[in-house]
Amino acid sequence: MSVLADLHIHSTASDGQYTPSEIVALAKEKGLHAIALTDHDTLSGLAEALEAGKAQGLRVIPGVEFSTDDYLNLHILGYGFPLDDPGLVKLTTGLKAGRDDRKYRIAGFLHNHGVDVPLSEVEEAATGGVIGRPHFAQVMLRHGIVATRKEAFDRYLDTPEFQEIERGTKPLAEECVKAVKAAGGKVSLAHPYQVVLGQDKLEDLVKRLAACGLDAIECYYPQHTQEQTAEYLRLAKKYGLHVTGGSDFHGEKNKPDNLLTAWELELDWFSK
Ligand code: AMP
Ligand code: FE
Ligand code: FE
Ligand code: ZN
């Protein structure tokens, strides 16, 4: 049986606009049956989300989205694990510390490019304590350094030169997949169109990750073309993987083209 679900959502626990409880209310309003909260590298919003789901009568699946080192924008979605799993707690605690170091690297990079942003404001913007590039973009916008958040990424935070300072700082995809599997959870490959590698390489990647426990591919995503979706469905079928869908909702202010979406998904495999 299929349900209306959105399995890729960010809250104020990372770089989203809304709190976990607000997201549950918005999803209810939209008529969704299930959501997964998948904040970047953190589990800190999940307890509130699960609580709100119970109170408001919405199925909430605990989730997380890991940024990995293998390729640019290769992100791994983990689902359905216990919040206190020691392996995942250890991994996310380490990633939080990594982001705390990274903020100085980012500030230094910006300084070298003639841009000085007050770190205290960036820290304040990250209300959940997990600092990401969008928080820098927000402060740069406020100070008139850029006219849009997108400009902050295009000119500074997502240039090849910026990507150089990120190299070697994130866990490998395989490590993330294994950590979620060891916690008894499920794993999906996030927004495959964003992974910066060629066509044959994507299939190689799916094959490699499937061999270490990948369960699904996020075939449905707002920016996927029909052709891309068809290709990802083909890959899922070929490698015996399930299909997930997510909007990557960060709030309309933060990411206006990625709004909560009622994807029709088969989720029975989640409870197996
Ligand atoms: P971080 O976790 O610090 O690497 O930041 C990643 C987040 O930044 C993504 O989840 C998006 O929310 C946002 N982002 C990444 N690239 C861009 C871009 N080119 N334009 C706008 N937002 C972006
Ligand atoms: Fe984000
Ligand atoms: Fe992502
Ligand atoms: Zn995301």
Residue 205 pairs with which residues in a beta bridge?
Answer: none
Q: Is 74 exposed, middle or buried (0-12, 13-18, 19+ CB in 10 A)?
A: buried
pLDDT of residue 22: 98
Whole-prediction pTM: 0.97
**In this structure, which amino acid lies at residue 17?**
Q
pLDDT of residue 240: 98
Closest CA to 61 of 190, 215, 242, 185: 185
Strand runs labelled E in the chain: 2-9, 34-37, 59-67, 75-79, 186-189, 216-220, 242-245, 263-266
- Which of 69, 101, 122, 133 for mutating ligand 1's site (highest number of atoms within 8 Å of CB)? 133
Q: How far apart are CA 78 and CA 99, in angstroms?
A: 19
Q: Do β-strands 2-9 and 186-189 pair in parallel, antiparallel, or remain unpaired?
A: unpaired
pLDDT of residue 272: 78
Q: Do β-strands 216-220 and 242-245 pair in parallel, antiparallel, or remain unpaired?
A: parallel
pLDDT of residue 218: 98
Mean pLDDT by runs of 10 across the 272 residues of the chain is 96 97 98 98 98 98 97 96 98 96 97 96 95 97 96 96 93 98 98 84 96 98 98 98 98 94 96 81
Atom of ligand 1 nearest to the CA of 40: 2
**In this structure, which amino acid lies at residue 46?**
L
pLDDT of residue 197: 84
224: Cα separation from own chain's centroid: 16
pLDDT of residue 199: 61
16 CA from centroid of ligand 2 (Å): 7
